[in-house]
């Protein structure tokens, strides 16, 4: 959650939020989890499969589900 908070702050400070200001930003939580998994499994490629590549690809390896 600390990494998610950092990603959230970076996105907001850069003027590129990934969710409405009053919304719980699940995108940064998911991206932080993917980054943590990538660190833990450095020999593997961790990919977030999603329909919202634009937001998630800023912080994690994300691919459109229909391209997988």
What range does the domain containing 46 cover?
A: 2-67
Asked if the model's pLDDT at residue 24 lies above 90, the reply is no
* Residue 13 DSSP label: H
Report the domain count for the chain: 1
Q: Find how far residue 46's CA is from the centre of its chain.
A: 12
pLDDT at residue 5 above 90?
Answer: no
pTM of the model: 0.77
Nearest to 40, CA basis, from 9, 3, 67: 3
What pLDDT was estimated at residue 1? 87
Q: Where residue 46 falls among pLDDT bands split at 50, 70, 90?
A: very high
Res. 54 pLDDT band, cuts 50 70 90: confident
Compute the distance between CA of residue 12 and CA of residue 4 in angstroms, rounded to an integer: 12
Mean pLDDT of 3-29: 85
Interacting residues of 28 by C-beta distance below 8 A, sequence separation 6+: 4, 5, 7, 8, 11, 18, 59
């Amino acid at each position: 959650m600390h990494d998610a908070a950092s990603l959230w702050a970076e996105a907001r400070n850069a003027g590129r939020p990934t969710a409405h200001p009053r919304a719980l930003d699940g995108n940064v939580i998911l991206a932080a989890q993917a980054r943590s998994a990538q660190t833990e499994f450095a020999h593997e490629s961790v990919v977030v499969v999603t329909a919202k590549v634009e937001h998630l690809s800023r912080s994690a390896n994300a691919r459109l589900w229909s391209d997988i």
